[in-house]
């Protein structure tokens, strides 16, 4: 493991930012028996059990019967992620238009962009930590203001796309095209206090890059999909990808399959979505289950549930045990026997 020092900085805390823009809903939310038909990056569950779906056509709420586009008042942006926090606020992250907040019981949205202190208008991942802070990549919102972390402050990356807080309180960061790293606040205190991050490396001293998905299982092992630069000749990089398991000491490459989305279900199985090889036009993507009974073998038993020449993305296990996953053309639900695509009457039979 490589330690990278972090230097103290105000991180722009003393700058004055504009209050959030207000978007009033002047149109009724669109309702349909069918789900979105375009890209769905992430699927989450609301506190009342409804399914929340972030798509390029809006953020949809599914109550078990109907799909409602709850962002009909917001024009243009493509949504990547959605989160209902512990206070009941709904957050919506967009590809290039910042972040939107819908407080509980309201129809008026608050819109946050770089004008309000957000580090970037590209908000691809939303995460709530144990303290109740909301993270958008390397931007942390405490309910009043944003604090942003960058390489200028010693942060290892400016391209954070993923965050996980583990059972011990350590923060795991995944970055686009850059290395995965960990921060242990128990040892190092708050960010920006001159303490180190840990950049993770395999036994060959190579870092894990392009981490889209990570989860901690019930035994404290970490599962993640990543690429590794095996060789570099001039401007050409030769990479390998796969699904990895980390027990705190050793990294085991479990599969050559990538892992965009990854979860552990209630029975201890690991589910993934990801490309089956180097990405390109016509690349096959699969939705797979790694069996709990063989998880800690060098090669766990894997069942491929669905494969297609198109993207399969974020995963959710719903309260009823069904597995939902996003795709390039909408959202799917798997009940253990049948896959439902929700795009048409035929797909729901």
pLDDT digits (tens, 9 = 90+) for 245-255: 999 999 999 99
pLDDT digits (tens, 9 = 90+) for 54-109: 999 999 999 999 999 999 989 878 999 999 999 999 999 999 999 999 999 998 99
Strands 40-45 and 51-55: antiparallel
Residue 190 neighbours by CB distance under 10 Å: 9
Q: Are 263 and 270 in contact (CB under 8 A)?
A: yes
Position 2 scores a pLDDT of 37
Coil vs helix vs strand at 50:
coil
pLDDT digits (tens, 9 = 90+) for 290-325: 999 999 998 899 999 999 999 999 999 999 999 999
DSSP state of 179: B
Residue 203 neighbours by CB distance under 10 Å: 7
- 188 membership: H or E segment, kind and range: helix 185-188
Most distant CA pair in the chain, distance? 58
Q: Are 134 and 93 in contact (CB under 8 A)?
A: no
Indicate the pLDDT class of residue 12, thresholds 50, 70 and 90. Answer: very low
- 317 membership: H or E segment, kind and range: strand 312-317
What's the domain range around 176? 2-348
Position 27 scores a pLDDT of 67
Whether pLDDT at 3 is above 60: no
Backbone angles phi, psi at 120, to 5 degrees: -150, 150
Cα angle vertex 214, ends 211, 220, to 5°? 140
Position 56 scores a pLDDT of 94
Number of structural domains in the chain: 1
Coil vs helix vs strand at 274:
strand
Whether pLDDT at 21 is above 70: yes
Residue 152 neighbours by CB distance under 10 Å: 12
pLDDT digits (tens, 9 = 90+) for 215-258: 999 999 999 999 998 888 888 878 888 999 999 999 999 999 88
Residue 63 neighbours by CB distance under 10 Å: 13
Mean pLDDT of the chain: 88
Whether pLDDT at 330 is above 70: yes
In this prediction, residues 124-133 reach a mean pLDDT of: 94
Position 41 scores a pLDDT of 96
Coil vs helix vs strand at 4:
strand
Q: Which residues pair with 54 in a beta bridge?
A: 42, 59
Q: Are 329 and 38 in contact (CB under 8 A)?
A: yes
Q: Which residues pair with 6 in a beta bridge?
A: none
Task: Give the C-alpha separation, 14 to 17, whole Å.
Answer: 9
DSSP state of 187: H
Q: Identify the residue with better confidence: 235 or 49.
A: 49
Backbone angles phi, psi at 8, to 5 degrees: -65, 140
Question: What is the distance, to the nearest Å, from the Cα of residue 124 to the centroid of all Cα atoms in its chain?
Answer: 7
Residues 6 or more apart whose Cβ sits within 8 Å of residue 105: none
Position 130 scores a pLDDT of 93
pLDDT above 90 covers what percent of the chain?
66
b/e code 20-49 from CB counts within 10 Å (16+ = b): beebebeeeeeeeeebbbebbbbbbbbeee
Indicate the pLDDT class of residue 279, thresholds 50, 70 and 90. Answer: low
Closest CA to 291 of 277, 312, 308, 305: 305
Q: Are 51 and 132 in contact (CB under 8 A)?
A: no
> DSSP letter string over 86-107?
TTS-EEEEESSS-EEEE-TT--
CATH (domain of 251): 2.130.10.10
Strands 108-112 and 21-24: antiparallel
Position 15 scores a pLDDT of 62
């Amino acid at each position: 493991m490589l330690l990278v020092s972090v230097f103290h900085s105000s991180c722009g805390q003393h700058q004055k930012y504009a209050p959030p823009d207000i978007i009033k809903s002047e149109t009724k939310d669109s309702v349909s028996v069918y789900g979105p038909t375009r890209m769905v990056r992430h699927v989450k569950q609301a506190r009342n059990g409804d399914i929340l779906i972030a798509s390029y056509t809006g953020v949809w709420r599914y109550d078990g019967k109907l799909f409602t586009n709850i962002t009909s008042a917001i024009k243009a942006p493509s949504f990547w992620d959605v989160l209902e926090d512990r206070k009941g606020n709904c957050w919506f992250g967009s590809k290039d238009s910042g972040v939107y907040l819908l407080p509980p019981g309201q129809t008026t949205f608050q819109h946050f962009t770089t004008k309000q202190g957000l580090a970037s208008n590209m908000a691809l991942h939303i995460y709530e930590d144990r303290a109740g802070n909301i993270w958008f990549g390397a931007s942390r919102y405490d309910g009043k203001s944003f604090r942003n972390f960058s390489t200028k402050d010693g942060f290892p990356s400016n391209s954070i796309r993923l965050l996980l807080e583990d059972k011990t309180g350590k923060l795991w960061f995944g970055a686009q095209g850059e290395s995965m790293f960990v921060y242990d606040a128990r040892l190092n205190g708050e960010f920006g206090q001159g303490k180190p991050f840990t950049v993770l490396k395999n036994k060959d001293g190579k870092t894990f890059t392009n981490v889209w998905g990570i989860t901690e299982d019930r035994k404290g092992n970490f599962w993640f999909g990543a690429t590794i630069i095996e060789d570099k000749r001039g401007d050409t990089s030769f990479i390998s990808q796969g699904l990895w398991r980390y027990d705190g000491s050793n990294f085991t490459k479990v599969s050559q399959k990538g892992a965009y989305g990854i979860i552990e279900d209630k029975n201890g199985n690991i589910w993934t979505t990801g490309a089956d090889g180097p990405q390109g036009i016509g690349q096959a993507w699969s939705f797979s289950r790694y069996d709990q009974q063989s998880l800690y073998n060098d090669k766990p038993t894997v069942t491929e549930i669905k494969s297609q020449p198109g993207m399969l993305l974020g995963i959710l296990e719903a309260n009823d045990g069904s597995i939902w996953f996003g795709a390039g053309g909408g959202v799917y639900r798997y009940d253990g026997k049948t896959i439902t695509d929700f795009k048409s009457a035929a797909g729901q039979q």
